[in-house]
Structure 1
Amino acid sequence: MKLRLHFVVDPMGWLCISMVFGIWLYNTFFIPKLVLLPHYNEGHIPWAIVVCYYIASGLCLAALFRASTADPGRLPVDPKIPHSEREHWELCNKCNLMRPKRSHHCSRCGHCVRKMDHHCPWINNCVGEDNHWLFLQLCFYTQVLSLFTLVLDFCQYYYFQPLTGLDQEKFTTHHELALMRVSTLMGLMMFGGMSSLFYTQMAGILSDTTTIEKMAQFSNEVYGSKKSWQWALTEVCGTRWKLLWLIPLRNRQPIQASHHFRTHV
């Protein structure tokens, strides 16, 4: 199925996402150059470690691309409102268009987004009903890649055997300590920040409360009964297949409620 692209024209957002991409590029280039490939070539680490690192890096980049370019749930100018759902719609006082309840007008993007959680400058996009699962994936894979990087930085000095085939004339060899320190610092910052963000996002999903609603001190009881964690994540990810919750290169499809998933476990 074709993936629709959605771009936000915001120079500040482009700067923020460029910084995130730069951090990803730094660790994806220098860590294999300094640690993975040299130790693999000398037989200190198995090929599976190298493959797993590149898989984590690829999934992190895919989640970043999809979260920043996926439509978060932008409402059309002339929405078709089913007669049975009209009582669940309201008029936006900023763009004067009808929207479902729990939608929010983003002043940065200039339109309303269904079940908007927040506008994230680091992906230059809103986080809403249609791309919340991608933002969750981005947080998760960034944690995995950052932790992987920190472990490799630690092993480089305290576990791996010394390399025998170093070329002392290469830039990376001359500046290895500085490059590794920068990598460790970025790894700590990304892992700490994404862990906190991932926790708050998961807490909001499980309580069926968006970040905007929390700031406005809304209660999830206004919008219905509590849900089991399986059904909450199923609604966000758009599939009952748990393995697909981790795959960024697919489309999300709204699903209907199921008694089995709505029951608390």
Structure 2
Amino acid sequence: MYESLGPRGGGEMDPHNKCMGGRVWCVSDICGIICAVMTWLLVTYAEFVVVTVVVGTANYPIYTTLNLLLFNMFAVLALSSHTRAMFTDPGAVPKGNATRENIQRMGLREGQVIFKCPKCCSIKPERAHHCSVCQRCIRKMDHHCPWVNNCVGENNQKFFVLFTFYIALLSLHGLFLGIYQFIICVKSEWRECSSFSPPATVVLLLFLIFESLLFAIFTAVMFFTQVNAIWNDETGIEQLKKEQASWEKKSRWRSIQAVFGRFSLTWFSPFTSPPLPTKTHSYMYAV
């Protein structure tokens, strides 16, 4: 009865999802790569304008120092979160692990049903969905985000939430600085408010304000959407499909802890990993 369950062996990382000699998870999607590079370029642009136009010409040392420190702190945390979200395995199920040996090792009870993904020939865990971009089944897949060129799933949701949080803070700070500097320049009739010419200063500030406003709204919406999904122990796909919960829902506090760990300052750090799931069957996790 197991002969049609898929190829034998397997479980190795697909070449589609490997880089740096197979040591790092990555997705070879051109659209995602372009979006990820654009993210870094837009943050770099904002950094350039803030340093050279906004605070670079200010005559108040305390104002300059505080804003530079705050803006750069948000930028470092945002880009670090982006990097971790992009290069962390989101919870991929090994391709071709639906073998007779693996199914027998699961110790299924009489009448118990398992699901096999017809696209990647893997045993499909509860709440997993197949991503056509990553070409893998992803445990607790929320959605595929081109801005981080990766799926948001069980292992990297914390980093994605932090990415949206810090980009929103960075954008709000940039919006405030851009508008404030624009007002200062108008009052001074564009004299000595920037090292650039007045037309260039107008263009630089207006694009900073537009970029900051756009991404402040976009990432704030994404942040609260993610927090709501975690709070209700439902992924974005499950909410979209209005799937009936066949799993035992966690309490709201336990659902948050499952993503971020026990409450501490590490919740806000992209440099600490989220709690790893309990690996009941190791061959379901090795990529």
TM-score range, shorter chain: 0.7 to 0.9
> Residues 223-234 of structure 1 correspond to what in structure 2 (within 5 A)?
223-228=247-252, 230-234=253-257
SS in 2 for 1:183: helix
- Which string of whole-angstrom CA distances, capped at 9 and with x for unpartnered residues, describes residues 5-62 of structure 1? 31100111111112212211110111121112321x5436152222111101111111
Q: 1:121 and 2:119 equivalent? A: no
Structure with greater helix percent: 1
Give, in angstroms, the shift of residue 65 of structure 1. Answer: 1.1
Match of 1:48 in 2: 66
The number of equivalent residue pairs is 248
d(CA) in 2 for partners of 1:233, 1:88: 30
SS in 1 for 2:63: coil
Unaligned runs of 5+ in 2: 1-22, 279-287
State the TM-score, normalizing by the size of structure 1: 0.83
Q: 1:134 and 2:159 equivalent? A: yes
Match of 2:26 in 1: 7
Kept in 1: contact 2:92–2:136 (CA 8 A): yes
1:176 alignment partner AA: T
Change (3 A) 1:96 1:255: closer
Q: 1:204 and 2:229 equivalent? A: yes
Change (3 A) 1:59 1:10: same
Q: 1:247 and 2:272 equivalent? A: no
Give, in angstroms, the shift of residue 164 of structure 1. Answer: 11
How large is the RMSD of aligned CA atoms in angstroms?
2.8
Kept in 2: contact 1:209–1:219 (CA 8 A): no
- Which string of whole-angstrom CA distances, capped at 9 and with x for unpartnered residues, describes residues 73-93 of structure 1? 111233867646885852112
Change (3 A) 1:26 1:194: same
Identity of aligned residues (%): 29
State the TM-score, normalizing by the size of structure 2: 0.77
Q: 1:18 and 2:37 equivalent? A: yes
> Residues 1-265 of structure 1 correspond to what in structure 2 (within 5 A)?
5-39=24-58, 42-43=60-61, 45=63, 47-77=65-95, 78=97, 83=106, 89-158=114-183, 166=192, 170-171=195-196, 174-220=199-245, 222-228=246-252, 230-237=253-260, 239-254=261-276
- Which string of whole-angstrom CA distances, capped at 9 and with x for unpartnered residues, describes residues 112-146 of structure 1? 11111111111111111000111100110010000
Give, in angstroms, the shift of residue 248 of structure 1. Answer: 0.5
d(CA) in 2 for partners of 1:142, 1:68: 15
- The structure whose Rg is larger is 2
- Which string of whole-angstrom CA distances, capped at 9 and with x for unpartnered residues, describes residues 141-174 of structure 1? 0100000001111221346996999497x54665
d(CA) in 2 for partners of 1:65, 1:134: 9
2:61 alignment partner AA: G
Kept in 2: contact 1:88–1:100 (CA 8 A): no
